[in-house]
Structure 1
Amino acid sequence: MATHDDDRPSPDDEATRLATTDSTDKQKSTGTTHPTTDPGKNVTEALTAISEELANGTSTVVAVGSVLKNRFVLEEMLGRGGMGVVYKARDLRKVEAMDRDPYIAVKVLSKDFQANPDSFIALQRESKKAQQLAHPNIVTVYDFDRDGPNVFMTMELLEGEPLDQLIRRLRPATLPAQQALSIIEQMARALAYAHSENIVHSDFKPGNVFLTSKSVVKVVDFGIARAAKNADRPAEDATVFDPGSLGALTPTYASCEMLEYGEPDPRDDVYGLSVVAYELLAGSHPFDRKPATYARDLALKPKRPKELSKEIWNAISHGLEFEREKRTRNATEFLKETSGPRQGRDNLLPKWAIPAAAGVILLLVITIGSLLFNGQNGEVQPEIVLQETTSLEPELRAKIESILEVAEVHMLVGRLLEPPGSSAYDAYQQILIMHQQNKQATQGLQQIGDYLAEQIRGLIESKQLQEGKALLEKGLDALPDHQGLIKLQQDLQ
């Protein structure tokens, strides 16, 4: 993400608090002493002092066994990359609270964040934004802090395997198509949610995607790449930092615009997403691991993998366009394209919504039938007819169509019932307040229930009974009349 001079925090900003040392000099994590930084100094002066520590060799060396902020005990190294080192850590606060699971992940960032004031400030700003990304396919970031010169982030602990390791382990073979497509969809949902929040990843690659032991995709390091600079390139797919700006990229996954120092844009993420999607489906890089600018100058064209549907191929090839103006606009559009061509508004919905159409029609028939003959002695009741949005007055129609667009984006990125106030369910309910018989909103709520029922069945089949019951309870609270959810409740009872 871009950083702007007018966004630079004042000395009273959170960055200043993190950039100044505590009044206690001694760091219990190592027993070493660091020079005390005057809290009155500005951010640049404080970080200059830290840089001098590094130059003088007095900085803390973090390793397994270290304790950061007298709280996080580093117990195991989980991985190392251009951004830093990730450790499994025991949170002593959780231990005190007798938490059954006191473990988290701690990412101790590389010296670029220690020695450069601008990088530190930018990272603090980016971390704040990352903490706002509450999505099932995005790793949860708890906090950003520093212990002496060591800058670190605390995150949820994941069990599984980074996607780059999985790809290397399988190469040149690939995952089963449906498994690969599930991973691609989850990655796209994570990016679509971030793009809807005006956040660009800027360094999307397999190394920043984690596949958990439960086959859930977690995208990591949102915005961190934009906050770093002046790093060396340690490995083939390592992030390369631009010494002239607060930016970073990985050449084999970066768009032409990124390689040519353009401003970050959601379409850059789409390029990286499309490269990763191609790798998962074809078992190789679309341009033989050549940077986009090189592939463009050579007029290289990716080969279509065998047995790949027209819709998926069109979505990936559109995302691989070298020119930003020709490329898919954002990850939400990528999801729409992978859904394939359908009529009307259904074109905006994910594939799982297709079979829901039959259920919607059946529900409407049952509902209308029950309304006709639900009185005492079988008397006929007035028929309730659902109305199209297009039948409304222009002003109301415009308002509802705008909310429908929002609801569809929520559906695409997986925000069905949560977060409260910003979900597809809330959007459709808002429409029904404005237009009680709205057909699109009624069908939308039915589709939410259908998708929840599908998720619950998947949880039950995978022996995750408690999780399935919890999701069913949420679903019935929101949609107490959904026949699919009611049937699941009866089956479980």
Structure 2
Amino acid sequence: MATHDDDHPAPDDEATRIATTGSTGNQNHTGPTTPITDPGKSVTEALTAVSEELANSTSSVVGIGSVLKNRFVLEQMLGRGGMGVVYKARDLRKVEAMDRDPYIAVKVLSKDFQANPDSFIALQRESKKAQQLAHPNIVTVYDFDRDGPNVFMTMELLEGEPLDQLIRRLRPATLPTQQVLSIIEQMARALAYAHSESIVHSDFKPGNVFLTSKSVVKVVDFGIARAAKRADRPAEDATIFDPGSLGALTPTYASCEMLEYGEPDPRDDVYGLSVVAYELLAGSHPFDRKPATYARDLNLKPKRPKELPKEIWNAIIHGLEFDREKRTRNATEFLKEMSGPRPGRDSALPKWAIPAAVAIVLLLVITTGSLLFNGQNGDLQPEIVLEETSSLEPEMRERIENILEVAEVHMLVGRLLEPPGSSAYDAYHQILIMHQHNKQATEGLQQVGDLLEQQVRDLIESKEIQAGKSLLEKGLDALPEHQGLKKLQSDL
């Protein structure tokens, strides 16, 4: 069955969405806010002009059979949600090029949102953020455009089922534990990557998670996502327009802070993730579908599902804390807490973490050896003093710490060298440009090389010689002085 990932009909109790206006209580917000730091009159005036044009336009009816930009033919409605309607569409450009798969998904801004001039900027921001999130567990957004008063986004078309429909179909039963844990891990990886890019989803729920026919999780609809406050982020990016002022969240998956108009934070996503994880494992909502504030005031406690490993349970309970300060810091930390013994696993670490753990031990041995034997058996030379970040200016130190978090996420999800510009290697290399002998970045690159070396050896042992040589070549291009990779090249 062909369907999509974005907005799906659901029973009233699950689809209920409430308007939020923020602590200022301003319920008549109709235009772009004045930026704290004026990014330039041309930008502000352009956005204002577009908003006014949309507000004054006569909305044309869009539905099945409509053609947008003389290119996208809307053929089937796939879902409807707070920000718009999603259609299966035929791309006439692909048809002309005789593409065997000419279909995409098109999300058209809803009529209610068109009445709010800020909605144009909201969708533009959604598109920009979604395009920024290039991750296998996040839906791919292609472009953002408009046809007269109709504003729309184009996205990949997915085959499968949204998670809310799956949960309702199975309730009160659940999927096999191993399959559930795979879904939870993929959801967490998607959010971990978003958090590393300073983006908070702000409406994480089963309806915004899609399970493809190949059991791949796709997190969708960053429509009200807002950049988490970061010292290195320009102020104007957060002040020209705040999508949160349009106000949409789902009470049964929202944290107490979201319900009480707090600033968006990665820990809000962790709360939603933990609720969804519990639903998948237990077949029911942890607080009987009551909002977090209500459950907190009643001192409700979730019941532990039978035979659930202690580490998984502790990770979920930590993520369900009503107090943000006590809750898991972000999705990366949630992933770490989940990485305990599981049914069918012999190790206390998930499979993807074993090479990293081995590499850390090897790195300690290599580092110690280099100090004892004057660097003759390692990459780290004793005459180079690896600098600590404590001597740096606070702003520079914070930037480096943020990039180190990004690198850690890339390592967790196996993005060692690729994609170019968004990998662990790129993150560590960027730090070394800023801080020449940074210890953590230097050790991180060593670990990247060690992991690549192990991957090449595994490929060769599996008789995939050509693939191994290709990976080795890429590794040496990036890390030409890595001793393990150099020795492998010599052996081959």
Same fold per superposition (TM over 0.5): yes
Q: Is the 8 A contact 1:208 1:221 kept in 2?
A: yes
- Aligned counterpart for 2:55 among listed residues 48, 52, 56: 48
Aligned to 1:27: none
Q: Is the 8 A contact 1:388 1:439 kept in 2?
A: no
Asked if residue 275 in structure 1 is aligned to residue 275 in structure 2, the reply is: yes
Aligned to 1:475: 471
Distance 1:164 1:451 in 2: 37
Distance 1:213 1:15 in 2: 45
Q: For each residue in 1:110-164, what CA deviation from the matched residue of structure 2 results, as whole angstroms up to 9, or x when unmatched?
A: 2232110122223323322222111111111112222233222111111111111
Distance 1:330 1:216 in 2: 22
Distance 1:244 1:131 in 2: 19
Q: Tell me the CA shift for residue 90 of structure 1.
A: 1.1
Q: Is the 8 A contact 2:386 2:438 kept in 1?
A: no
Asked if residue 311 in structure 1 is aligned to residue 311 in structure 2, the reply is: yes
Aligned to 1:249, the other structure's residue is in SS state coil
Aligned to 1:70: 70
Q: For each residue in 1:171-221, what CA deviation from the matched residue of structure 2 results, as whole angstroms up to 9, or x when unmatched?
A: 111111121111111111111111111111111111111111121111111
Q: Tell me the CA shift for residue 278 of structure 1.
A: 0.8
1:31-430 pair list within 5 angstroms = 42-50=49-57, 53=58, 59-224=59-224, 245-340=245-340, 352-354=352-354, 357=357, 384-385=377-378, 392-395=385-388, 406-427=406-427
* C-alpha distance 318-435 of structure 1, shift in aligned 2 (>3 A): closer
Distance 2:408 2:96 in 1: 44
Q: Tell me the CA shift for residue 384 of structure 1.
A: 1.0
Amino acid at match of 1:442: Q
Distance 1:315 1:68 in 2: 46
Q: For each residue in 1:42-93, what CA deviation from the matched residue of structure 2 results, as whole angstroms up to 9, or x when unmatched?
A: 234312213xx3xxxxx32222211111110112222233333211111112
Q: Is the 8 A contact 2:87 2:106 kept in 1?
A: yes
Aligned to 2:446: 442
Gaps of 5+ in 2: 1-19, 23-31, 228-241, 342-348, 367-374, 477-482
Q: Which has the larger displacement, 95-104 or 265-274?
A: 95-104
Q: Tell me the CA shift for residue 105 of structure 1.
A: 0.5
Q: Is the 8 A contact 2:224 2:243 kept in 1?
A: no
| TM-score, scaled to structure 2 | 0.70
Q: Tell me the CA shift for residue 299 of structure 1.
A: 0.4
Q: CA RMSD in A?
A: 4.4
Amino acid at match of 2:34: D
Distance 1:365 1:285 in 2: 47
Amino acid at match of 2:474: A
Q: Which has the larger displacement, 269-278 or 308-317?
A: 308-317
Q: How many residues align?
A: 411
Distance 1:15 1:143 in 2: 23
Identity of aligned residues (%): 75
Q: Which has the larger displacement, 261-270 or 422-431?
A: 422-431
Q: For each residue in 1:310-358, what CA deviation from the matched residue of structure 2 results, as whole angstroms up to 9, or x when unmatched?
A: 22111111111111111111112212222249xxxxxxx9652225655
Q: Tell me the CA shift for residue 96 of structure 1.
A: 2.5
Aligned to 1:5, the other structure's residue is in SS state coil
Amino acid at match of 1:105: A
Amino acid at match of 1:265: D
Asked if residue 6 in structure 1 is aligned to residue 35 in structure 2, the reply is: yes
Q: Tell me the CA shift for residue 392 of structure 1.
A: 4.9
Q: Which has the larger displacement, 405-414 or 141-150?
A: 405-414
Q: Is the 8 A contact 1:211 1:218 kept in 2?
A: yes
Q: Is the 8 A contact 1:173 1:283 kept in 2?
A: yes
Higher relative contact order (CA 8 A, sep 6+): 2
Aligned to 2:210, the other structure's residue is in SS state strand
Amino acid at match of 2:449: L
Q: Is the 8 A contact 2:456 2:472 kept in 1?
A: no
* C-alpha distance 451-275 of structure 1, shift in aligned 2 (>3 A): farther
Aligned to 1:317, the other structure's residue is in SS state helix
Aligned to 2:269, the other structure's residue is in SS state helix
Aligned to 2:184, the other structure's residue is in SS state helix
Amino acid at match of 2:318: H
Q: Tell me the CA shift for residue 446 of structure 1.
A: 2.9
* C-alpha distance 63-416 of structure 1, shift in aligned 2 (>3 A): same
* C-alpha distance 388-439 of structure 1, shift in aligned 2 (>3 A): farther
Gaps of 5+ in 1: 18-40, 54-58, 228-241, 342-348, 367-381, 461-467
